[in-house]
């Protein structure tokens, strides 16, 4: 329970700083008043939706990453590395251009990418799974750009911003949709907690504990597709968040794997932090949040590879 | 099936190149008044051919040297290193000439190659190197490209010049490409002369040594060509992905292990493929354009999956 408390506290502190901070710093009293005053433009329209979106998307991606890492027992097999995030963004823009419900497009894209990678890599080991995923992700990302370039101009301008991973389009409707998905994910995590915590132990042990591994797998994969799709819909194809959240949460708090809730909270902390960074830098240079996330995540991947020299990733 | 003579295959590649060139001159984003556009398209076609041939040869040489069919200048992060170096130079010294850009881009390619060697190699042996390579490359690429992206976004003029270049775009109007084009021409000729040494080396270091060709010298020669060709191609068109994976795969298959024939096939093959990618990108999103780097990335996923399937089947 302690890791969850520590990270919840950190998330609340960061959320407060994100509400107070920016081009104009607010005092605690002003933040509190703004939260309860529906006419406060700065808090209600600009900052609160962004913070809610960052927390929701961070939780969704952190949880999805921890679930995938648990299911595959492979640190690298997270939605952003194995192409699910890119598949979700392709599905989203296809549905956007054709004119349908965008959430289903993103979720279906993530699910299709997951099915494709699983099919390709069946029985070929952990690393093959990751590498096929990189291939699927590269093509899906390129296809997303092609679809957007062919779309009418007004849509392109909007979607290009989204594509680089930006929270500046934040609105309450998207945040609501995202939070609904996160709520389902968190409830499932709590409800199936005992079964899910056997993920890292492997199929034999799961069977011995009287849990049906096939059904557990299906549940986890469905959750991952839903969470990834919702997060991508809200904040665009953010790289490295799902990959870094769970290992970082374990390193900071010493939580035992699969550390699902700590990973979700750490994801929220990371994204709120990256978005706050993007906003604080904005007077000098306007960097998309996704780019800041890559600047945090890529060094971690390098660190991981140096640590893993003799490990599983042969 | 009767074996085709290599000369016939080469003639077929040449014919494909001529056809691609004709298409590239004829079709573009703008349809009317194409007589005026032919001069611009001629320059663009020359750039596409040079970059395509250079990247195909870089891929071929790297794959032979490391005995790893995944060694593509994009996947290894070598192109991304060259791109970051180019952007840093453009940021610090906007008025730099073509020769300076060529030298700095080649330096960046070399440094990225060194980093890759450290990250992917190590104590794991060659088997580990083969599948760790794309992961290490992904880390280097993500870090270099997001740093380059951050630098580009600081400045409006840098954005206009380099934002599309960063994903791989053939230039429309001459900027400072002459030095790089000349370097590619020279390096492609002298690279052909290294083929015999490289073939000797791949037979075994001792045989090579006893025939008077020092293995260390051969490695240095080949790596020198790789850095200059990769640096020059990035200086012209940015980090174009996956071309060096796809073309050598086909060329080596058709040449049945003969490096000099594979080299001869890769030259027109790479040139024709990038010309076609550039032409396709100009046609599919009229009046806009999809950059050639996006089209090659679209082909890249399937190519990566194909190569992986062959590697894992062994």
pLDDT at A86 (0 to 100) = 93
- Looking at the complex, does the CB of residue A299 fall below 8 Å from at least one CB of chain B? yes
Q: pLDDT higher for B164 or A313?
A: B164
CA distance to partner chain A, nearest, from residue B119 (Å): 6
CB-based contact B312 A124, cutoff 8 Å: yes
pLDDT at B35 (0 to 100) = 64
How many beta-carbon pairs under 8 angstroms link A with B? 121
Name the average pLDDT for chain A: 85
pLDDT at B29 (0 to 100) = 67
- Looking at the complex, does the CB of residue B132 fall below 8 Å from at least one CB of chain A? yes
How far apart are alpha carbons B191 and B182 in whole angstroms?
14
Least confident of A240-249, B268-277, B279-288: B279-288
Q: For residue B97, give the 3-state DSSP assignment.
A: coil
How far apart are alpha carbons A88 and A105 in whole angstroms?
7
Is the separation of the CB atoms in A168 and A46 below 8 Å? no
Query: What class, spelled out in words, does domain A2-283+296-302 have in CATH?
Result: mainly alpha
CA distance to partner chain B, nearest, from residue A61 (Å): 19
CA dihedral over A36, A40, A46, A47, signed as positive or negative = negative
* Highest mean pLDDT out of A40-44, A166-170, B218-222, B226-230: B226-230
B129 — pLDDT class (breaks 50, 70, 90): low
**Cα-based distances in Å from A62 to A104, A198, A281, B12:** 20, 18, 25, 52
pLDDT at A63 (0 to 100) = 94
A311 — pLDDT class (breaks 50, 70, 90): low
Contact list in B for residue A295 (CB cut-off 8 A) is: 143, 146-147, 150
Least confident of A187-201, B98-112, B151-165: A187-201
pLDDT at B36 (0 to 100) = 64
pLDDT above 50 (res B20): yes
How far apart are alpha carbons A177 and A36 in whole angstroms?
22
In chain B, the residue whose alpha carbon lies closest to the alpha carbon of A124 is B312
In chain B, the residue whose alpha carbon lies closest to the alpha carbon of A311 is B124
CA distance to partner chain B, nearest, from residue A314 (Å): 5
CB-based contact A138 B132, cutoff 8 Å: no
From the CB of residue B113, how many other CB atoms can be counted at a distance below 10 Å? 22
In chain B, the residue whose alpha carbon lies closest to the alpha carbon of A307 is B119
CB-based contact A135 B302, cutoff 8 Å: yes
The per-residue pLDDT for range A98-151, each reduced to its tens digit, is 877 878 889 999 999 999 998 988 877 778 888 899 999 999 999 998 888 887
pLDDT at B158 (0 to 100) = 84
The per-residue pLDDT for range A52-98, each reduced to its tens digit, is 999 999 999 999 999 998 888 888 889 999 999 999 999 998 988 88
CA distance to partner chain B, nearest, from residue A110 (Å): 16
Q: pLDDT higher for B6 or A87?
A: A87
The per-residue pLDDT for range A6-19, each reduced to its tens digit, is 899 999 999 988 88
Q: pLDDT higher for B288 or B169?
A: B169
Residues whose CB falls within 8 Å of the CB of residue A139, separated by 6 or more in sequence, listed in order: B297, B298, B299, B300, B301, B302
B128 — pLDDT class (breaks 50, 70, 90): very low
User: Residue range B253-272: average pLDDT?
Assistant: 90
User: Residue range B282-300: average pLDDT?
Assistant: 85
pLDDT above 60 (res B127): no
B312 — pLDDT class (breaks 50, 70, 90): confident
pLDDT above 50 (res B123): no
B153 — pLDDT class (breaks 50, 70, 90): confident
CA distance to partner chain B, nearest, from residue A142 (Å): 5
The secondary structure of B171-234 as a DSSP string is: -SS-SS-HHHHHHHHHHHHHHHHHHHHHHHHHH-HHHHHHTT--HHHHHHHHHHHHHHHHHHHH
pLDDT at A198 (0 to 100) = 76
pTM: 0.87
CB-based contact B143 A140, cutoff 8 Å: no
CB-based contact B140 A302, cutoff 8 Å: yes
Contact list in A for residue B298 (CB cut-off 8 A) is: 139, 142-143, 146
> Domains in chain B, start-ordered, CATH in brackets?
42-313 (1.10.3470.10)
**DSSP H/E element including B137:** helix B125-153
CB-based contact B290 A135, cutoff 8 Å: no
Interface probe, candidates A146, A147, A154, chain B, greatest B C-beta count within 10 A: A146
- Report percent pLDDT > 90 for chain A: 30
- Looking at the complex, does the CB of residue A239 fall below 8 Å from at least one CB of chain B? yes
User: Residue range B175-189: average pLDDT?
Assistant: 86
pLDDT at B124 (0 to 100) = 44
Q: pLDDT higher for B22 or B265?
A: B265
Contact list in B for residue A127 (CB cut-off 8 A) is: 131
pLDDT at B119 (0 to 100) = 82
User: Residue range A157-173: average pLDDT?
Assistant: 76
pLDDT at A312 (0 to 100) = 47
In chain A, the residue whose alpha carbon lies closest to the alpha carbon of B155 is A285
Name the average pLDDT for chain B: 84
pLDDT at A182 (0 to 100) = 93
CA distance to partner chain A, nearest, from residue B150 (Å): 7
- Among left, alpha and beta (phi > 0; psi -120 to 50; other), residue B168 is left
HSE at residue A161, side-chain half, CA atoms within 13 A, is 12
CA distance to partner chain B, nearest, from residue A208 (Å): 33
| Residues of chain A by 3-state class (helix, strand, coil), percent to 5 | 75, 0, 25
pLDDT above 50 (res A28): yes
Residues whose CB falls within 8 Å of the CB of residue A304, separated by 6 or more in sequence, listed in order: A75, A76, A247
- Looking at the complex, does the CB of residue B138 fall below 8 Å from at least one CB of chain A? yes
User: Residue range B234-257: average pLDDT?
Assistant: 89
Q: Which residue has the tokens 């398209």?
A: B41
- Looking at the complex, does the CB of residue A301 fall below 8 Å from at least one CB of chain B? yes
The per-residue pLDDT for range A206-229, each reduced to its tens digit, is 667 777 777 888 888 999 999 999
CB-based contact B294 A142, cutoff 8 Å: yes
- Vertex A139, ends A134 and A142: CA angle to 5°? 125
Residues whose CB falls within 8 Å of the CB of residue B295, separated by 6 or more in sequence, listed in order: A142, A146, B277, B278, B280, B281
Least confident of B24-38, B132-146, B205-219: B24-38
Which among A128, A295, A314 has CB closest to B312? A128
A314 — pLDDT class (breaks 50, 70, 90): very low
Contact list in B for residue A294 (CB cut-off 8 A) is: 142-143, 145-146
């Amino acid at each position: 329970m302690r890791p969850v408390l520590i990270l919840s506290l950190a998330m609340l502190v960061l959320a407060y700083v994100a509400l107070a901070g920016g081009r104009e710093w607010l005092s605690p009293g002003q933040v509190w008043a703004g939260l309860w005053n529906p006419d406060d433009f700065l808090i209600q329209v600009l900052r609160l939706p962004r913070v809610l979106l960052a927390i929701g998307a961070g939780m969704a991606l952190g949880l999805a990453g921890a679930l995938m890492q648990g299911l595959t027992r492979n640190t690298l097999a997270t939605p952003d590395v194995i192409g699910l995030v890119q598949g979700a963004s392709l599905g989203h823009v296809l549905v956007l251009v054709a004119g349908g419900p965008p959430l289903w497009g993103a979720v279906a894209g993530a699910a299709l990418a997951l099915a494709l990678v699983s099919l390709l890599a069946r029985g070929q080991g952990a690393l093959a799974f990751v590498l096929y995923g990189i291939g699927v992700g590269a093509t899906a990302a390129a296809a997303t750009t092609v679809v957007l370039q062919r779309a009418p101009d007004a849509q392109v301008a909007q979607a290009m911003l989204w594509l680089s991973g930006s929270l500046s389009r934040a609105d309450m409707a998207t945040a609501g949709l995202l939070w609904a998905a996160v709520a389902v994910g968190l409830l499932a995590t709590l409800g199936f907690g005992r079964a899910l915590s056997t993920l890292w132990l492997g199929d034999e042990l799961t069977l011995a504990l009287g849990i049906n591994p096939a059904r557990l797998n299906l549940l986890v994969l469905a959750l991952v597709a839903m969470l990834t799709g919702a997060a991508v819909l809200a904040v665009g194809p953010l790289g490295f968040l799902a990959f870094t959240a769970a290992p970082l949460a374990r390193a900071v708090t010493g939580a035992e794997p699969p550390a699902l809730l700590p990973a979700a909270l750490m994801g929220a902390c990371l994204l709120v932090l990256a978005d706050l960074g993007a906003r604080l830098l904005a007077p000098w240079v306007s960097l998309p949040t996704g780019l800041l996330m890559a600047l945090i995540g890529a060094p971690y991947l390098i660190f991981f590879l140096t640590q893993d020299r003799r490990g599983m990733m042969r | 099936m009767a074996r085709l003579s290599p000369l016939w295959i080469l003639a077929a590649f040449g014919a494909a190149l001529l056809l691609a060139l004709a298409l590239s001159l004829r079709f573009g984003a703008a349809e009317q008044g194409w007589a005026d556009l032919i001069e611009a398209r001629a320059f663009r076609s020359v750039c596409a051919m040079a970059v395509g041939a250079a990247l195909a040869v870089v891929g071929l040489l790297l794959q032979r040297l490391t005995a790893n069919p995944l060694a593509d200048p994009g996947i290894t992060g070598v192109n991304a290193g060259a791109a970051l170096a180019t952007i840093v130079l453009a940021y610090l010294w906007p008025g730099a000439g073509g020769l300076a850009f060529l030298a700095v881009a080649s330096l960046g390619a070399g440094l990225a190659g060194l980093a890759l060697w450290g990250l992917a190699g190590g104590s794991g042996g060659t088997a580990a190197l083969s599948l760790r390579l794309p992961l290490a490359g992904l880390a280097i690429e993500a870090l270099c490209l997001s740093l380059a992206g951050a630098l580009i976004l600081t400045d409006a003029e840098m954005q206009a010049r380099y934002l599309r270049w960063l994903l791989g775009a053939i230039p429309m109007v001459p900027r400072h490409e002459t030095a790089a084009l000349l370097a590619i021409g020279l390096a492609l000729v002298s690279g052909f002369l290294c083929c015999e040494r490289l073939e000797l080396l791949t037979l075994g270091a001792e045989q090579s040594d006893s025939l008077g060709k020092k293995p260390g010298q051969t490695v240095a020669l080949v790596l020198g060509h790789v850095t200059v060709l990769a640096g020059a191609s990035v200086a012209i068109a940015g980090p174009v992905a996956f071309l060096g994976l796809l073309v050598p795969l086909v060329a080596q298959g058709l040449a049945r292990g003969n490096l000099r024939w594979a080299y001869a096939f890769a030259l027109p093959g790479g040139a024709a493929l990038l010309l076609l990618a550039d032409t396709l990108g100009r046609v599919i999103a009229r009046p806009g354009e999809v950059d050639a780097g996006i089209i090659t990335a679209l082909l890249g996923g399937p190519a990566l999956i194909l190569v992986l399937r062959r590697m894992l089947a062994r």
